[in-house]
Amino acid sequence: MQFRDLKKQYEVLKPQMDAALLEVAASSQYIGGPQVKQLEGRLAEYVGVKHCITCANGTDALHLALMAWGVGPGDAVFVPDFTFFATGEVVSALGATPVFYDVDPATFNADPISLEKAVRAVKAEGKLRLNAVTDVDLFGLPADHENVAAVAEFYGMFFLEDAAQGFGGMLHGKRNGAFGDAAATSFFPAKPLGCYGDGGAVFTNSDDTAALVRSLCVHGKGSNKYDNIRIGMNSRLDTLQAAILLVKMDAFEGYELADVNAAAAMYSEALAGLDVILPTVPQGWFSSWAQYTLRLKDAAQRDAVQAFLREQGVPSNVYYPKPMHEQKAFAGHGQYVSCPVTEELCATVLSLPMHPYLDRRTVDTVAAALKKALG
Ligand SMILES: *Cc1c(COP(=O)(O)O)cnc(C)c1O
């Protein structure tokens, strides 16, 4: 059993995919080929924003947006405590201070009340400039963007949506990637829309931010690549990855997003009645199900269940085992509020195999193994 069945996806897409790959190979336009522009136009339209700028990976996408806003030493950037390391890493990489805030136990996403508490604590201390807020569409579910945006706006901060796991999700009819002054997504193979390697993109409605990101991702270019007006980086999406993503977008829009939601519904049905907490999608929210994540009673039960599933040939993963504020790399950084919910989640979450090609038989196998594990 695969945790995320990328092989099956390739088999289904093989004719179109092979043709797309060979076309790029024959064209020899390996960097900046026409597929890159075509993909950017298509993604911007799908997400519902004015600009999409592709880049080398999701981490760079976050980094580029913060760079465009001039985030640097002396700045506070607010980051959910329950996320992948990169959300905080890019803040530290720019010399700014990540300030961690807690999440909601039901959605695993940004808790705007904890966020505001952290903002007030930093403001009261008076050492750091309030610069930006990030939230994360964890496991595909949109964060509470409207309330996070309200806090960012009230305190005069930029708002960056980390949509690395959230592509395709929707909140009140608006797609993930369309919230915030800018959003970042990732095309890492296991994300909802993945390529065959690394890739990422920045989304924004701001002409200024878009122009800055376009310059920053090509060595701070001015009128051309050899006119360099600022320090940037080298972060581009290869033509090959863009061609792959164009084929994958057909499948994503055509059926994958619907099918992964059907897989979630099959799980919820098959697991009903078991003594575990199933993931919830609030009214008005729509998930792209990057993960299907349960909550167990405590760390001992979670670890025992995971070991039992492994024996039964059912892969599972713990996203994430450690809160950001406990990561050694952030030691001594920005802890202004406690994050008990994140600590609890890190001890109790378990993600099951999840992807659009999951069939009922596999769901039933996972459910039976889980039932036995809970004994
Ligand atoms: C995957 C991920 C990233 C980083 O994306 P890469 O493409 O791997 O650099 C950032 N934030 C979150 C929440 C992620 O899940």
Looking at residue 333, what is its pLDDT?
75
Segment 7-64, tens digit of pLDDT: 999 999 999 999 999 999 999 999 999 999 999 999 999 999 999 999 999 999 999 9
Kindly report the protein residue whose alpha carbon is nearest to atom 14 of ligand 1: 164
Closest listed residue to residue 56, CA positions, set 240, 212, 209: 240
Kindly report the protein residue whose alpha carbon is nearest to atom 7 of ligand 1: 58
Percent of the chain scored above 90 by pLDDT?
A: 98
Give the tokens for residue 67. 């760079």
Segment 331-351, tens digit of pLDDT: 977 689 999 999 999 999 999
Residues of the chain with CATH 3.40.640.10: 6-101+109-247
Segment 21-34, tens digit of pLDDT: 999 999 999 999 99
Segment 228-283, tens digit of pLDDT: 999 999 999 999 999 999 999 999 999 999 999 999 999 999 999 999 999 999 99
Give the tokens for residue 216. 């920053």
Q: 101: CA distance to ligand 1 center in Å? A: 19
Residues of the chain with CATH 3.90.1150.10: 255-373
Mean pLDDT for the chain overall:
97
Long-range contacts of 31-36 (CB under 8 A, 24+ apart): 31/236, 31/238, 31/239, 32/236, 32/239, 33/239, 33/242, 33/243, 35/239, 35/242, 35/243, 35/246, 36/236, 36/237, 36/239, 36/242
Looking at residue 332, what is its pLDDT?
79
Residue 277, beta-bridge partner list: 295
* Nearest atom in ligand 1 to 199's CA: 7
Q: Report in angstroms the alpha-carbon separations of 317 from 73, 289, 293, 302.
A: 35, 15, 9, 11
* Nearest atom in ligand 1 to 136's CA: 13
What residues line ligand 1, using a CB cutoff of 6 Å? 57-59, 83-84, 86-87, 136, 162, 164-165, 186, 188, 198, 200
Q: 185: CA distance to ligand 1 center in Å? A: 7
* Class of the domain covering 6-101+109-247: alpha beta
Burial class (CB in 10 A: 0-12, 13-18, 19+), 151: buried
How many residues comprise the chain? 375
What span, in angstroms and rounded, lies between the C-alpha atoms of 155 and 123?
10
* Among 188, 198, 235, 245, residue to substitute to test ligand 1 (most atoms within 8 Å of Cβ): 188
Give the tokens for residue 76. 């506070």
Segment 185-240, tens digit of pLDDT: 999 999 999 999 999 999 999 999 999 999 999 999 999 889 999 999 999 999 99
Segment 113-151, tens digit of pLDDT: 999 999 999 999 999 999 999 999 999 999 999 999 999
* Nearest atom in ligand 1 to 188's CA: 7
Closest listed residue to residue 161, CA positions, set 92, 62, 94, 248: 62
Residue 292, H or E segment: strand 292-295
Superfamily in which the 255-373 domain is placed by CATH = Aspartate Aminotransferase, domain 1 (3.90.1150.10)
